[in-house]
Amino acid sequence: MKSVLLGMSGGVDSSVSAILLKEAGYKVVGLTMCLFGNGSCCNMQSILDAKAVCKKLGIEHYTLDFQKEFKENVIDKFIEEYQNCRTPNPCIDCNRYLKFGAMYEFAKEHNIDYIATGHYAKVVYSEEYKRYVITKSKADKKDQTYVLYNIPQELVEHIVFPLGDFESKDQIREIAREHGMLVASKPDSQEICFVPDNDYVNFLEKHNIQGMRHGRIVNTKGEILGKHQGLHRYTIGQRRGMGISSSTPLYVLKLNKENNTLVVGKEEELYTDTVCVSEPNSLLWDKFEDGLEVDAKIRYSAPAKPAVIHVNEDGTLTVKFKEKVRAVTPGQAIAFYVGNILAGGGKIEG
């Protein structure tokens, strides 16, 4: 019997994953990771919910403290990125270093064959590429492959995603109800787990980050249009909340850390066909080759669009889109696809 370590948040997705894995014949071990004090995904109620599910299913459950690792790899990076006038995605770092980092190490130490999570994605073997690959889930609107682009390639064959063949969250909740799970109607968490009330501005200001000084709002010609309230309060593409008036709508184009200015302009100035990418991670090939054609998406909710990857001498990438994309945001991720296969990705630099 193959064994699998399942990351359990106490929510309906991971709870149903436990049901499906057990029904598939795995020896399932549940693990709840304590990441941040009373965070939304690892508070005491979440731990109790996960334990109750495991007890009902007759599977072993562990609760482990990873707060130190979470602070170093997720919270501190989140703060640092905002200090550098970038917009981070902490869930991606959490996946890389905790769910598919520390959790995988725990599985190896305990001779557990696989790790599993409740992400909406699939792992299949590709005869064409002669390796295990991550593909999009059938639940197109719920697909979460974008936040999985930086998983180490060698881990993919050791991962199971039980929810990949479901087309909607309603199906997942129905399975939970059929098995008498109290978490069947538990709402999804939509917030950053370590940011109370999802108020990231207040969170950053409590940590007294650099860059909170007021400064000038300027257009692309350098003309002063007003005063901003601290660059950490703004993101690329933002239109409202700047406190300036104009005969045409103005949008945030750039956060200039060097002179503490907020650069704004017309919507057409938000579009570009070129994206610079650092920290590339290839999942489909041994490495990225110059000229690879992919579909690329620059944010979770954005559609993937045709692009060509160019490899620079320093190992970074320049991605050229065939059509211009809107509001490229430094600090966010870019994910590459070939068909429905997640080919990898990287961090957007501009």
Examine the domain organization and report whether 69 and 172 are in the same domain: yes
Q: What is the pLDDT of residue 206?
A: 86
**Contact criterion met (CB below 8 Å) for 131 and 23:** no
Instruction: Tell me the pLDDT tens digit for each residue of 39-94.
Output: 556 678 889 999 999 999 999 999 999 999 999 999 999 999 999 999 999 999 99
Is there a catalytic annotation at residue 193?
Answer: yes
Instruction: For residues 44 and 182, state if they share a domain.
Output: yes
Distance separating alpha carbons of residues 32 and 174, to the nearest angstrom? 23
232, 209 Cβ separation under 8 angstroms: yes
Residue whose C-alpha is closest to residue 132's, from 151, 115, 161, 157 = 157
Residue 175 belongs to some domain of the structure? yes
Question: How confident is the model at residue 41, as a pLDDT?
Answer: 62
Domain count along the chain: 3
Residues 218, 181 within the same domain:
no
Beta bridge partners of 116: 6, 160
Note whether 35 and 182 are same-domain residues.
yes
Return d(Cα 6, Cα 99) in angstroms, integer. Answer: 10
- Residue 293 CA to residue 321 CA, distance in Å, equals 10
* Complete DSSP assignment for 133-167: EEEE-S-GGG--GGGGTTS-GGGGGGEE-TTTT-S
For the chain, residues with pLDDT lower than 50 are none
235/247 Cα distance (integer angstroms): 22
Which pTM was predicted?
0.94
54 is catalytic: no
What is the domain range of residue 285? 270-348
DSSP state letter for 92: H
Q: What is the CATH number of the domain that holds 301?
A: 2.40.30.10
> Which residue of the set 42, 85, 91, 94 is catalytic?
94
Q: Is residue 305 part of a domain?
A: yes
Identify whether the C-beta of residue 117 lies closer than 8 Å to the C-beta of residue 7: yes
